[in-house]
Amino acid sequence: MDEKKAVELAQAVSDNCIARRVRFVNRVITNLYDKALRPLDVKTNQAGILVWLFLHGEAGPGDISKALRMEKSTVSRNVSRMKNKGWIEIMSSDDRPTQAIKVTEDGRKLLQAAYVEWTKAQKKALDLLGEDGVDSVRRLYETLSSGRDPK
């Protein structure tokens, strides 16, 4: 009868699992921003990529993948959707070692509109987490982003 043993293991996982907590926090926080951005028909993720692209000039999917620690196929699809919406354009020069993506005028406009909504969500998140929480998030991010991608 490993029933009791199983309960102990499950309890240990529940009590200590980092992923469980990180994922919970992610769901709650992402929801906040997604809801705020809904009127603009853009989600947190794509808005984030757009911001990154805007700040990094012409970059390729590979750069996004490395910077945001996102699988290349994930980036590929997101870029594709963003292109379809007209927020970015791809300057592939046929001879494409890599691609060069640029934020379009529409993309820039979206960015400015999104800023207003972002501010609201950001405020709610701050209210929920408190200054300390926000600092924690920042530190966690710094810790992980400084480490190499374990491929």
Partner DNA sequence: GTTAATATGTTGTATATGCAACTCAAGAAG
Partner DNA sequence: CTTCTTGAGTTGCATATACAACATATTAAC
Binding site for DNA (CB under 7 A): 23, 27, 30-31, 34-35, 38, 43-46, 60-62, 65, 69-74, 76-81, 95-99
Q: Which is nearer to a second copy, 96 or 115 (CB)?
A: 115
Least spacing, CB of residue 52 vs DNA, in Å: 12
Q: Which is nearer to DNA, 2 or 84 (CB)?
A: 84
76: amino acid identity, one letter? S
Binding residues for a second copy restricted to 75-104, rule: CB under 8 A: none
Q: Cα separation of 125 and 123, whole Å?
A: 5
Output DSSP code: residue 43.
-
88 forms bridges with which residues in the sheet? 103
Q: Which is nearer to a second copy, 17 or 91 (CB)?
A: 17
1 contacts a second copy (rule: CB under 8 A): no
Q: Which residues have C-beta within 8 Å of that of residue 72, sequence separation ≥ 6?
A: 61, 62, 65
Q: Name the CA dihedral angle for 13, 18, 24, 28, rounded to a multiple of 10 degrees.
A: 160
39, 58, 69, 106: which one binds a second copy (CB under 8 A): 69
Closest CA to 102 of 65, 61, 68, 69: 61
Token readout for 93 is 């020069």
89 forms bridges with which residues in the sheet? 102
Site residues, a second copy (CB under 8 A)? 2-3, 5-7, 9-14, 16-30, 32-33, 44-45, 48, 51-52, 54-55, 68-70, 108, 111-112, 115, 118, 121-122, 125-126, 128-130, 132-134, 136-141, 143-145, 147
